Amino acid sequence: MIRSGIVRENRYFDSMFLMQVRQRMEREPGVYQAAAVMGTDTNKELLGRLGFTGPWLSAAGPNDLIVAVEGESSEIIRAVLDRLEEFLTQKVKEREERPRTLAAGLAVLPQANLAVISVPGRFAAREARTALERGLNVFLFSSNVSVDDEIALKLLAHEQGLLVMGPDCGTAIIRGMGIGFANVVRRGSIGIVGSSGTGVQEVTCLVHQSGQGVSHAIGTGSRDLSEAVGGVSTWTALGVLEDDPDTKVIVLVSKPPGAKTLTALRAHLRRCRKPVVACLLGAAALDRSWEGVQLASTLDAAAAWAVEWVGGRPAVPESPDPTAWAASVVRERAQMSSEQKYVRGIFAGGTFCYEAQHVLEQGGIAVHSNAPLDSRLALDDPMRSVGHTLLDLGDEQFTEGRAHPMMDAALRHERLLLEARHAEVAVVMLDFILGHNASPDPVGDLLPAIIQAKCAAADRGGYLSVVASVCGTDGDPQELQAQVIGLEEAGVVVLPSNAQAALYCRVLVEGLR
Protein backbone atom coordinates (compact mmCIF):
# COMPACT_ATOMS: atom_id res chain seq x y z
CA MET A 1 0.00 0.00 0.00
CA ILE A 2 1.59 3.27 -1.17
CA ARG A 3 0.64 6.81 -0.16
CA SER A 4 1.68 10.11 -1.68
CA GLY A 5 0.35 13.52 -2.58
CA ILE A 6 0.97 16.98 -3.93
CA VAL A 7 0.12 20.57 -3.07
CA ARG A 8 -1.03 23.31 -5.42
CA GLU A 9 -0.39 26.72 -3.89
CA ASN A 10 -3.16 29.33 -3.85
CA ARG A 11 -5.70 27.10 -5.62
CA TYR A 12 -9.02 27.52 -3.83
CA PHE A 13 -11.94 25.27 -4.76
CA ASP A 14 -15.41 24.86 -3.29
CA SER A 15 -15.68 21.86 -0.96
CA MET A 16 -18.52 20.33 -2.99
CA PHE A 17 -16.40 20.45 -6.14
CA LEU A 18 -13.45 18.89 -4.28
CA MET A 19 -15.72 16.07 -3.11
CA GLN A 20 -16.47 15.34 -6.78
CA VAL A 21 -12.74 15.44 -7.60
CA ARG A 22 -12.05 12.89 -4.84
CA GLN A 23 -14.79 10.62 -6.15
CA ARG A 24 -13.38 10.79 -9.68
CA MET A 25 -9.90 9.81 -8.47
CA GLU A 26 -11.23 6.94 -6.34
CA ARG A 27 -12.89 5.46 -9.42
CA GLU A 28 -9.47 4.96 -11.02
CA PRO A 29 -8.20 1.34 -11.02
CA GLY A 30 -5.77 0.58 -8.21
CA VAL A 31 -6.74 3.58 -6.06
CA TYR A 32 -7.85 2.65 -2.53
CA GLN A 33 -8.70 6.13 -1.29
CA ALA A 34 -8.06 9.74 -2.18
CA ALA A 35 -8.46 13.18 -0.66
CA ALA A 36 -8.81 16.62 -2.22
CA VAL A 37 -9.03 19.25 0.52
CA MET A 38 -7.84 22.70 1.41
CA GLY A 39 -4.72 22.83 3.58
CA THR A 40 -6.26 23.69 6.95
CA ASP A 41 -4.52 22.45 10.08
CA THR A 42 -7.39 20.04 10.77
CA ASN A 43 -7.26 18.53 7.29
CA LYS A 44 -3.48 18.14 7.49
CA GLU A 45 -3.73 16.40 10.85
CA LEU A 46 -6.43 14.06 9.56
CA LEU A 47 -4.28 13.11 6.58
CA GLY A 48 -1.33 12.56 8.91
CA ARG A 49 -3.36 10.16 11.03
CA LEU A 50 -4.26 8.26 7.87
CA GLY A 51 -0.57 7.72 7.16
CA PHE A 52 0.19 10.55 4.73
CA THR A 53 3.49 12.27 5.56
CA GLY A 54 6.12 14.36 3.87
CA PRO A 55 7.27 17.95 3.30
CA TRP A 56 4.55 18.40 0.68
CA LEU A 57 1.93 18.00 3.41
CA SER A 58 3.50 20.01 6.23
CA ALA A 59 4.22 22.99 3.97
CA ALA A 60 0.61 23.43 2.79
CA GLY A 61 -1.31 26.49 3.94
CA PRO A 62 -5.08 27.07 4.29
CA ASN A 63 -5.31 28.60 0.81
CA ASP A 64 -3.47 25.69 -0.80
CA LEU A 65 -5.02 22.60 -2.35
CA ILE A 66 -3.86 19.21 -1.02
CA VAL A 67 -4.39 16.09 -3.10
CA ALA A 68 -3.47 12.77 -1.47
CA VAL A 69 -3.79 9.27 -2.93
CA GLU A 70 -3.41 5.77 -1.50
CA GLY A 71 -3.05 2.97 -4.01
CA GLU A 72 -1.55 -0.33 -5.07
CA SER A 73 1.72 1.07 -6.40
CA SER A 74 3.74 4.24 -6.80
CA GLU A 75 3.17 4.04 -10.56
CA ILE A 76 -0.61 4.12 -10.14
CA ILE A 77 -0.43 7.02 -7.71
CA ARG A 78 1.92 8.99 -9.96
CA ALA A 79 -0.37 8.43 -12.95
CA VAL A 80 -3.36 9.76 -11.00
CA LEU A 81 -1.49 12.79 -9.66
CA ASP A 82 -0.14 13.57 -13.11
CA ARG A 83 -3.76 13.84 -14.28
CA LEU A 84 -4.75 16.25 -11.50
CA GLU A 85 -5.53 19.15 -13.84
CA GLU A 86 -7.81 16.86 -15.82
CA PHE A 87 -9.72 15.93 -12.65
CA LEU A 88 -9.92 19.59 -11.64
CA THR A 89 -11.30 20.77 -14.95
CA GLN A 90 -13.95 18.11 -15.53
CA LYS A 91 -17.29 19.83 -15.21
CA VAL A 92 -20.85 18.69 -15.43
CA LYS A 93 -22.40 20.44 -18.40
CA GLU A 94 -25.05 22.88 -17.26
CA ARG A 95 -28.44 22.29 -18.86
CA GLU A 96 -29.22 25.95 -18.67
CA GLU A 97 -27.46 29.21 -18.05
CA ARG A 98 -27.84 30.11 -14.38
CA PRO A 99 -27.64 33.60 -12.87
CA ARG A 100 -24.28 34.30 -11.26
CA THR A 101 -25.18 37.40 -9.27
CA LEU A 102 -28.04 38.42 -7.00
CA ALA A 103 -29.07 41.13 -9.46
CA ALA A 104 -29.17 38.61 -12.30
CA GLY A 105 -31.25 36.25 -10.19
CA LEU A 106 -33.78 38.97 -9.37
CA ALA A 107 -34.01 39.82 -13.04
CA VAL A 108 -35.15 36.23 -13.67
CA LEU A 109 -37.39 36.06 -10.56
CA PRO A 110 -38.39 39.64 -9.72
CA GLN A 111 -41.13 38.40 -7.36
CA ALA A 112 -38.67 36.46 -5.15
CA ASN A 113 -38.55 37.38 -1.46
CA LEU A 114 -35.90 34.91 -0.22
CA ALA A 115 -32.22 34.59 -1.04
CA VAL A 116 -30.33 31.35 -0.32
CA ILE A 117 -26.65 32.06 0.31
CA SER A 118 -23.97 29.37 0.33
CA VAL A 119 -20.52 30.84 -0.20
CA PRO A 120 -17.27 30.61 1.83
CA GLY A 121 -17.73 32.19 5.26
CA ARG A 122 -15.48 35.17 4.62
CA PHE A 123 -17.82 36.36 1.84
CA ALA A 124 -21.16 35.32 3.34
CA ALA A 125 -21.95 38.36 5.48
CA ARG A 126 -21.38 40.72 2.56
CA GLU A 127 -23.72 38.75 0.30
CA ALA A 128 -26.36 38.47 3.02
CA ARG A 129 -26.29 42.22 3.65
CA THR A 130 -26.73 42.89 -0.07
CA ALA A 131 -29.79 40.61 -0.11
CA LEU A 132 -31.32 42.30 2.93
CA GLU A 133 -30.77 45.71 1.38
CA ARG A 134 -32.70 44.46 -1.67
CA GLY A 135 -35.63 43.58 0.60
CA LEU A 136 -35.05 39.81 0.66
CA ASN A 137 -35.28 37.40 3.55
CA VAL A 138 -32.09 35.34 3.85
CA PHE A 139 -31.37 31.64 4.27
CA LEU A 140 -27.67 31.69 5.17
CA PHE A 141 -26.29 28.18 4.75
CA SER A 142 -22.67 29.33 5.08
CA SER A 143 -20.73 28.68 8.27
CA ASN A 144 -17.59 30.38 9.63
CA VAL A 145 -19.42 33.72 9.88
CA SER A 146 -18.43 35.82 12.89
CA VAL A 147 -20.84 36.48 15.76
CA ASP A 148 -20.47 40.23 15.18
CA ASP A 149 -21.53 39.84 11.54
CA GLU A 150 -24.44 37.63 12.56
CA ILE A 151 -25.71 40.20 15.08
CA ALA A 152 -25.40 43.04 12.57
CA LEU A 153 -27.28 41.09 9.88
CA LYS A 154 -30.10 40.08 12.19
CA LEU A 155 -30.56 43.58 13.58
CA LEU A 156 -30.70 44.93 10.03
CA ALA A 157 -33.29 42.29 9.12
CA HIS A 158 -35.35 43.14 12.21
CA GLU A 159 -35.37 46.83 11.30
CA GLN A 160 -36.70 45.96 7.84
CA GLY A 161 -39.24 43.36 8.94
CA LEU A 162 -37.22 40.54 7.40
CA LEU A 163 -35.83 37.23 8.64
CA VAL A 164 -32.29 35.85 8.61
CA MET A 165 -32.17 32.07 8.89
CA GLY A 166 -28.56 31.35 9.83
CA PRO A 167 -25.64 31.54 9.54
CA ASP A 168 -24.91 27.82 9.60
CA CYS A 169 -28.60 27.20 8.92
CA GLY A 170 -28.99 23.69 7.58
CA THR A 171 -32.72 23.27 7.09
CA ALA A 172 -35.97 25.08 6.38
CA ILE A 173 -39.30 24.16 4.83
CA ILE A 174 -41.31 27.17 3.66
CA ARG A 175 -44.79 26.51 2.24
CA GLY A 176 -43.79 22.94 1.46
CA MET A 177 -40.52 23.92 -0.25
CA GLY A 178 -37.43 22.39 1.34
CA ILE A 179 -34.29 24.53 1.58
CA GLY A 180 -30.84 23.20 2.42
CA PHE A 181 -30.98 19.73 3.95
CA ALA A 182 -34.71 19.00 4.01
CA ASN A 183 -36.79 15.87 3.81
CA VAL A 184 -39.91 15.26 1.74
CA VAL A 185 -42.79 15.70 4.19
CA ARG A 186 -46.49 16.39 3.72
CA ARG A 187 -47.95 19.77 4.53
CA GLY A 188 -50.05 20.11 7.65
CA SER A 189 -50.65 22.08 10.81
CA ILE A 190 -47.44 21.65 12.84
CA GLY A 191 -45.01 24.56 12.69
CA ILE A 192 -41.37 24.24 13.76
CA VAL A 193 -38.70 26.74 14.78
CA GLY A 194 -35.23 25.32 15.22
CA SER A 195 -31.68 26.46 15.81
CA SER A 196 -30.51 23.00 14.74
CA GLY A 197 -30.95 21.66 11.23
CA THR A 198 -30.91 17.94 11.98
CA GLY A 199 -33.20 18.51 14.95
CA VAL A 200 -35.71 20.11 12.61
CA GLN A 201 -35.28 17.23 10.16
CA GLU A 202 -35.90 14.60 12.84
CA VAL A 203 -39.08 16.29 14.06
CA THR A 204 -40.46 16.83 10.56
CA CYS A 205 -39.78 13.20 9.64
CA LEU A 206 -41.39 11.84 12.81
CA VAL A 207 -44.40 14.09 12.18
CA HIS A 208 -44.69 12.79 8.61
CA GLN A 209 -44.30 9.16 9.69
CA SER A 210 -47.19 9.75 12.12
CA GLY A 211 -49.49 10.74 9.29
CA GLN A 212 -49.40 14.46 10.08
CA GLY A 213 -47.78 17.38 8.25
CA VAL A 214 -45.70 20.54 8.56
CA SER A 215 -46.92 24.08 7.88
CA HIS A 216 -43.45 25.66 7.98
CA ALA A 217 -40.10 24.70 9.49
CA ILE A 218 -37.99 27.80 10.10
CA GLY A 219 -34.29 27.49 10.90
CA THR A 220 -32.60 30.26 12.86
CA GLY A 221 -28.93 29.29 12.94
CA SER A 222 -27.14 27.44 15.73
CA ARG A 223 -26.15 30.56 17.71
CA ASP A 224 -29.42 32.47 17.58
CA LEU A 225 -30.43 31.76 21.19
CA SER A 226 -26.94 32.40 22.54
CA GLU A 227 -26.48 35.29 24.96
CA ALA A 228 -24.58 37.23 22.31
CA VAL A 229 -27.22 37.04 19.56
CA GLY A 230 -30.22 37.08 21.88
CA GLY A 231 -32.79 35.17 19.82
CA VAL A 232 -33.52 37.86 17.21
CA SER A 233 -34.50 35.37 14.48
CA THR A 234 -36.30 33.07 16.91
CA TRP A 235 -38.65 35.85 18.01
CA THR A 236 -39.39 36.71 14.38
CA ALA A 237 -39.99 33.06 13.43
CA LEU A 238 -42.33 32.50 16.39
CA GLY A 239 -44.31 35.57 15.35
CA VAL A 240 -44.62 34.27 11.80
CA LEU A 241 -46.05 30.94 12.99
CA GLU A 242 -48.37 32.64 15.49
CA ASP A 243 -49.88 34.67 12.65
CA ASP A 244 -50.03 31.75 10.22
CA PRO A 245 -53.63 30.41 10.02
CA ASP A 246 -52.45 26.95 8.93
CA THR A 247 -50.28 26.42 12.03
CA LYS A 248 -52.11 24.88 15.01
CA VAL A 249 -49.17 23.98 17.27
CA ILE A 250 -45.55 25.15 17.37
CA VAL A 251 -42.47 23.04 18.14
CA LEU A 252 -39.28 24.82 19.23
CA VAL A 253 -36.02 22.87 19.00
CA SER A 254 -32.77 24.26 20.40
CA LYS A 255 -29.72 23.60 22.48
CA PRO A 256 -30.04 25.18 25.95
CA PRO A 257 -30.00 28.99 25.72
CA GLY A 258 -27.95 31.10 28.08
CA ALA A 259 -29.62 32.17 31.32
CA LYS A 260 -30.60 35.63 30.08
CA THR A 261 -31.94 34.37 26.75
CA LEU A 262 -33.76 31.52 28.49
CA THR A 263 -35.69 34.06 30.57
CA ALA A 264 -36.64 35.98 27.42
CA LEU A 265 -37.60 32.74 25.65
CA ARG A 266 -39.85 31.69 28.49
CA ALA A 267 -41.61 35.08 28.37
CA HIS A 268 -42.09 34.84 24.60
CA LEU A 269 -43.47 31.31 24.74
CA ARG A 270 -45.85 32.04 27.62
CA ARG A 271 -47.33 34.91 25.59
CA CYS A 272 -47.78 32.75 22.51
CA ARG A 273 -51.41 32.44 21.39
CA LYS A 274 -50.87 28.86 20.22
CA PRO A 275 -49.77 25.73 22.10
CA VAL A 276 -46.01 25.28 22.15
CA VAL A 277 -43.79 22.22 22.62
CA ALA A 278 -40.21 23.18 23.52
CA CYS A 279 -37.28 20.78 23.28
CA LEU A 280 -34.14 22.37 24.75
CA LEU A 281 -31.76 19.48 24.20
CA GLY A 282 -29.44 18.72 27.06
CA ALA A 283 -30.87 21.37 29.35
CA ALA A 284 -30.65 20.77 33.05
CA ALA A 285 -33.94 20.25 34.88
CA LEU A 286 -36.20 23.17 34.03
CA ASP A 287 -39.08 24.63 35.94
CA ARG A 288 -41.97 22.55 34.59
CA SER A 289 -44.49 25.33 35.28
CA TRP A 290 -43.98 27.13 31.98
CA GLU A 291 -47.57 28.13 31.39
CA GLY A 292 -48.86 26.95 28.00
CA VAL A 293 -45.56 25.23 27.15
CA GLN A 294 -44.91 21.49 27.09
CA LEU A 295 -41.22 20.78 27.78
CA ALA A 296 -39.79 17.75 25.96
CA SER A 297 -36.43 16.16 26.75
CA THR A 298 -35.97 14.46 23.35
CA LEU A 299 -36.93 15.10 19.75
CA ASP A 300 -39.11 11.98 19.91
CA ALA A 301 -41.16 13.46 22.74
CA ALA A 302 -41.45 16.84 21.01
CA ALA A 303 -42.77 15.27 17.81
CA ALA A 304 -45.09 12.89 19.68
CA TRP A 305 -46.70 15.64 21.74
CA ALA A 306 -47.16 17.88 18.69
CA VAL A 307 -48.80 15.03 16.80
CA GLU A 308 -51.13 14.38 19.73
CA TRP A 309 -52.02 18.10 19.92
CA VAL A 310 -53.47 17.90 16.40
CA GLY A 311 -55.30 14.63 17.06
CA GLY A 312 -52.79 12.19 15.60
CA ARG A 313 -51.09 9.08 16.90
CA PRO A 314 -47.26 9.16 17.11
CA ALA A 315 -45.39 6.65 14.98
CA VAL A 316 -42.50 6.77 17.49
CA PRO A 317 -43.58 6.95 21.13
CA GLU A 318 -42.46 9.63 23.56
CA SER A 319 -40.70 6.99 25.69
CA PRO A 320 -39.72 3.55 24.31
CA ASP A 321 -39.71 0.34 26.33
CA PRO A 322 -36.09 -0.92 26.49
CA THR A 323 -37.21 -4.39 27.56
CA ALA A 324 -38.30 -4.93 23.97
CA TRP A 325 -34.61 -4.90 23.02
CA ALA A 326 -33.53 -7.47 25.63
CA ALA A 327 -32.85 -10.33 23.22
CA SER A 328 -30.97 -8.11 20.80
CA VAL A 329 -28.83 -6.58 23.56
CA VAL A 330 -27.94 -9.99 25.00
CA ARG A 331 -26.98 -11.22 21.53
CA GLU A 332 -24.73 -8.20 20.88
CA ARG A 333 -23.01 -8.39 24.28
CA ALA A 334 -22.40 -12.13 24.08
CA GLN A 335 -20.01 -11.74 21.15
CA MET A 336 -17.78 -9.10 22.78
CA SER A 337 -14.46 -9.59 24.54
CA SER A 338 -13.98 -8.65 28.20
CA GLU A 339 -12.05 -5.46 27.39
CA GLN A 340 -14.77 -3.91 25.24
CA LYS A 341 -16.73 -1.24 27.12
CA TYR A 342 -16.87 2.13 25.33
CA VAL A 343 -19.35 3.87 23.02
CA ARG A 344 -17.99 5.90 20.13
CA GLY A 345 -20.43 8.04 18.16
CA ILE A 346 -19.57 9.43 14.72
CA PHE A 347 -22.30 11.88 13.76
CA ALA A 348 -23.08 13.87 10.65
CA GLY A 349 -25.80 15.76 12.55
CA GLY A 350 -24.70 18.00 15.41
CA THR A 351 -28.10 17.87 17.08
CA PHE A 352 -28.02 14.09 17.04
CA CYS A 353 -24.63 14.16 18.74
CA TYR A 354 -26.03 16.50 21.37
CA GLU A 355 -29.21 14.47 21.94
CA ALA A 356 -27.27 11.22 22.22
CA GLN A 357 -25.01 12.73 24.89
CA HIS A 358 -28.09 13.75 26.84
CA VAL A 359 -29.59 10.25 26.68
CA LEU A 360 -26.33 8.57 27.70
CA GLU A 361 -25.68 10.98 30.55
CA GLN A 362 -29.18 10.36 31.91
CA GLY A 363 -27.90 6.84 32.53
CA GLY A 364 -24.84 8.12 34.41
CA ILE A 365 -22.45 7.70 31.47
CA ALA A 366 -19.95 10.55 31.20
CA VAL A 367 -19.44 11.42 27.53
CA HIS A 368 -16.56 13.31 25.97
CA SER A 369 -17.13 15.30 22.80
CA ASN A 370 -15.88 18.09 20.57
CA ALA A 371 -19.36 19.59 21.18
CA PRO A 372 -19.94 18.58 24.82
CA LEU A 373 -22.97 19.08 27.03
CA ASP A 374 -20.55 19.65 29.90
CA SER A 375 -17.55 21.83 29.04
CA ARG A 376 -15.45 19.82 31.49
CA LEU A 377 -15.78 16.85 29.12
CA ALA A 378 -14.55 18.69 26.03
CA LEU A 379 -11.95 16.70 24.12
CA ASP A 380 -8.47 18.22 24.38
CA ASP A 381 -7.82 16.83 20.91
CA PRO A 382 -10.88 16.06 18.73
CA MET A 383 -8.68 13.67 16.77
CA ARG A 384 -8.33 11.40 19.82
CA SER A 385 -11.29 9.79 21.53
CA VAL A 386 -11.30 9.34 25.30
CA GLY A 387 -13.53 6.80 27.07
CA HIS A 388 -17.09 7.24 25.84
CA THR A 389 -16.80 9.77 23.01
CA LEU A 390 -19.40 11.22 20.65
CA LEU A 391 -18.16 13.34 17.74
CA ASP A 392 -19.96 15.96 15.69
CA LEU A 393 -18.13 15.77 12.36
CA GLY A 394 -20.36 18.52 10.99
CA ASP A 395 -18.69 21.00 13.33
CA GLU A 396 -16.95 23.95 11.67
CA GLN A 397 -13.56 22.58 12.71
CA PHE A 398 -14.08 19.56 10.44
CA THR A 399 -15.99 21.17 7.57
CA GLU A 400 -13.60 24.01 6.75
CA GLY A 401 -12.10 23.13 3.39
CA ARG A 402 -14.24 20.02 2.87
CA ALA A 403 -17.89 19.14 2.23
CA HIS A 404 -20.32 18.52 5.09
CA PRO A 405 -20.46 14.84 6.16
CA MET A 406 -24.14 14.67 5.18
CA MET A 407 -22.93 15.08 1.59
CA ASP A 408 -19.51 13.44 1.75
CA ALA A 409 -18.89 10.43 4.00
CA ALA A 410 -15.11 10.35 3.49
CA LEU A 411 -14.28 11.81 6.90
CA ARG A 412 -16.73 9.52 8.71
CA HIS A 413 -15.33 6.55 6.78
CA GLU A 414 -11.82 7.41 7.96
CA ARG A 415 -12.85 8.05 11.56
CA LEU A 416 -14.85 4.83 11.79
CA LEU A 417 -11.82 2.79 10.78
CA LEU A 418 -9.64 4.68 13.27
CA GLU A 419 -12.08 3.96 16.11
CA ALA A 420 -12.29 0.29 15.11
CA ARG A 421 -8.58 -0.11 15.79
CA HIS A 422 -9.16 0.30 19.54
CA ALA A 423 -9.87 -2.98 21.31
CA GLU A 424 -11.83 -1.29 24.12
CA VAL A 425 -14.53 0.04 21.77
CA ALA A 426 -17.76 -1.96 22.14
CA VAL A 427 -20.24 -0.03 20.04
CA VAL A 428 -20.18 2.62 17.34
CA MET A 429 -23.26 4.81 16.95
CA LEU A 430 -24.02 6.34 13.55
CA ASP A 431 -26.70 8.60 12.10
CA PHE A 432 -27.84 8.51 8.48
CA ILE A 433 -29.70 11.54 7.17
CA LEU A 434 -31.74 11.43 3.98
CA GLY A 435 -33.39 14.19 1.99
CA HIS A 436 -32.60 16.86 -0.55
CA ASN A 437 -28.93 17.80 -0.91
CA ALA A 438 -27.76 14.90 1.26
CA SER A 439 -25.71 12.08 -0.24
CA PRO A 440 -27.65 10.03 -2.82
CA ASP A 441 -26.78 6.88 -0.83
CA PRO A 442 -25.67 7.67 2.75
CA VAL A 443 -25.73 4.03 3.85
CA GLY A 444 -23.92 2.78 0.76
CA ASP A 445 -21.20 5.36 1.34
CA LEU A 446 -20.36 3.92 4.78
CA LEU A 447 -21.14 0.23 4.35
CA PRO A 448 -17.58 -0.70 3.25
CA ALA A 449 -16.16 0.95 6.37
CA ILE A 450 -18.78 -0.68 8.62
CA ILE A 451 -17.97 -4.13 7.24
CA GLN A 452 -14.22 -3.52 7.47
CA ALA A 453 -14.55 -2.27 11.07
CA LYS A 454 -16.59 -5.31 12.10
CA CYS A 455 -14.03 -7.64 10.48
CA ALA A 456 -11.17 -5.90 12.31
CA ALA A 457 -12.89 -6.49 15.67
CA ALA A 458 -13.56 -10.13 14.80
CA ASP A 459 -9.92 -10.66 13.85
CA ARG A 460 -8.99 -9.52 17.39
CA GLY A 461 -11.39 -12.01 18.93
CA GLY A 462 -14.06 -9.43 19.72
CA TYR A 463 -17.22 -8.05 18.17
CA LEU A 464 -18.05 -4.48 17.18
CA SER A 465 -21.69 -3.56 17.62
CA VAL A 466 -22.88 -0.87 15.22
CA VAL A 467 -26.10 0.94 16.15
CA ALA A 468 -27.77 3.42 13.81
CA SER A 469 -30.83 5.50 13.09
CA VAL A 470 -32.00 6.74 9.70
CA CYS A 471 -33.65 10.16 9.55
CA GLY A 472 -35.91 10.25 6.52
CA THR A 473 -39.32 9.60 4.99
CA ASP A 474 -40.84 7.37 2.35
CA GLY A 475 -40.80 10.33 -0.03
CA ASP A 476 -37.06 10.99 0.12
CA PRO A 477 -35.04 10.23 -3.03
CA GLN A 478 -32.72 7.85 -1.14
CA GLU A 479 -35.63 5.45 -0.34
CA LEU A 480 -35.85 5.11 3.43
CA GLN A 481 -36.69 1.41 3.51
CA ALA A 482 -33.83 0.50 1.16
CA GLN A 483 -31.38 2.36 3.40
CA VAL A 484 -32.62 0.54 6.51
CA ILE A 485 -32.44 -2.86 4.80
CA GLY A 486 -28.88 -2.17 3.65
CA LEU A 487 -27.80 -1.55 7.25
CA GLU A 488 -29.62 -4.54 8.68
CA GLU A 489 -28.12 -6.87 6.09
CA ALA A 490 -24.67 -5.71 7.26
CA GLY A 491 -25.48 -6.64 10.86
CA VAL A 492 -26.26 -3.11 12.05
CA VAL A 493 -28.89 -2.62 14.76
CA VAL A 494 -31.29 0.00 13.36
CA LEU A 495 -33.62 2.00 15.62
CA PRO A 496 -36.47 4.30 14.50
CA SER A 497 -34.95 7.47 15.95
CA ASN A 498 -31.67 8.90 17.17
CA ALA A 499 -32.90 9.06 20.77
CA GLN A 500 -33.84 5.38 20.68
CA ALA A 501 -30.47 4.47 19.15
CA ALA A 502 -28.72 6.32 21.98
CA LEU A 503 -30.89 4.60 24.60
CA TYR A 504 -30.10 1.21 23.04
CA CYS A 505 -26.37 2.01 23.29
CA ARG A 506 -26.85 3.05 26.91
CA VAL A 507 -28.57 -0.22 27.78
CA LEU A 508 -25.90 -2.16 25.90
CA VAL A 509 -22.90 -0.65 27.68
CA GLU A 510 -24.56 -0.59 31.11
CA GLY A 511 -24.08 -4.35 31.15
CA LEU A 512 -20.40 -4.02 30.21
CA ARG A 513 -19.33 -1.72 33.04
Looking at residue 472, its amino acid is: G
Architecture in CATH of 2-89: 2-Layer Sandwich (3.30)
> Would you tell me which CATH number, out of the four given (2.60.40.2380, 3.40.190.150, 3.40.50.720, 3.10.110.10), belongs to the domain 100-167?
3.40.50.720
Read off the pTM.
Answer: 0.86
d(Cα 131, Cα 505) in Å, to the nearest integer? 45
Domains 177-317 and 322-510 share a fold: yes
pLDDT at residue 246 in the model? 96
Domains of the chain: which residue ranges? 2-89, 100-167, 177-317, 322-510
d(Cα 373, Cα 464) in Å, to the nearest integer? 26
Mean pLDDT per 10-residue segment, the chain (513 residues): 89 78 88 87 83 88 90 91 85 56 88 90 92 96 92 96 94 94 96 94 98 97 94 96 97 89 90 93 65 89 97 94 94 94 96 95 95 92 94 85 85 92 96 94 95 94 97 96 97 98 96 72
Compute CA distances 178 → 79, 230, 255, 377, whole Å.
42, 26, 23, 36
pLDDT at residue 513 in the model? 65
pLDDT at residue 92 in the model? 44
Give the chain's radius of gyration (CA, Å).
Answer: 23
pLDDT at residue 97 in the model? 59
Answer for the pair 410, 401: CB distance below 8 angstroms, yes or no. no
CATH of segment(s) 177-317: 3.40.50.261
Question: How many alpha carbons fall within 13 Å on the CB side of residue 123?
Answer: 6
d(Cα 68, Cα 34) in Å, to the nearest integer? 6
Q: Which residues contact 185 (CB under 8 A, 6 or more apart)?
A: 173, 204, 205, 207, 208, 213, 214, 473, 475
Tell the CATH topology of 322-510.
Rossmann fold (3.40.50)
Answer for the pair 483, 434: CB distance below 8 angstroms, yes or no. yes
Are β-strands 137-140 and 114-117 bridged in parallel, bridged antiparallel, or unpaired?
parallel
Task: List Cβ<8 Å contacts ≥24 apart for 321-325.
Answer: 322/503, 322/504, 322/507, 325/504, 325/507
pLDDT at residue 234 in the model? 97
Answer for the pair 150, 266: CB distance below 8 angstroms, yes or no. no
pLDDT at residue 512 in the model? 75
